[in-house]
Amino acid sequence: MEIIPQFVAKWREGFDMVLGVRSKRDEEGFLRRTASRAYYKIMRMMTSVEIPPNAGDFRLLDRKILTSSTRCPSGTGS
């Protein structure tokens, strides 16, 4: 959790989204690392959003990002 102050500092600099990128994945097994690489490669091919390799699932989002995302259609047909 020592990374949280760094996230907040970047947000205060004006970034709307701050995400973590792993510097190493040595503690994960071969299958997990391979699946993760494949997932991010597929996501980069399918979307226009640039997702850095090894991006973590930890991110800080500004309120305006959250508000915008709640206005997007869910795609569930409701």
Q: How far apart are alpha carbons 56 and 40 in whole angstroms?
A: 11
| pLDDT higher than threshold 80 for residue 59 | yes
C-alpha distance from residue 37 to each of 9, 10, 25, 26 (Å): 29, 26, 11, 13
Average pLDDT over residues 37-43: 82
Helical residues (DSSP H) of 14-71, grouped into ranges: 30-46, 63-71
Q: Which comes out higher in pLDDT, residue 1 or 12?
A: 12
**Domain definitions of the chain by residue range:** 4-70
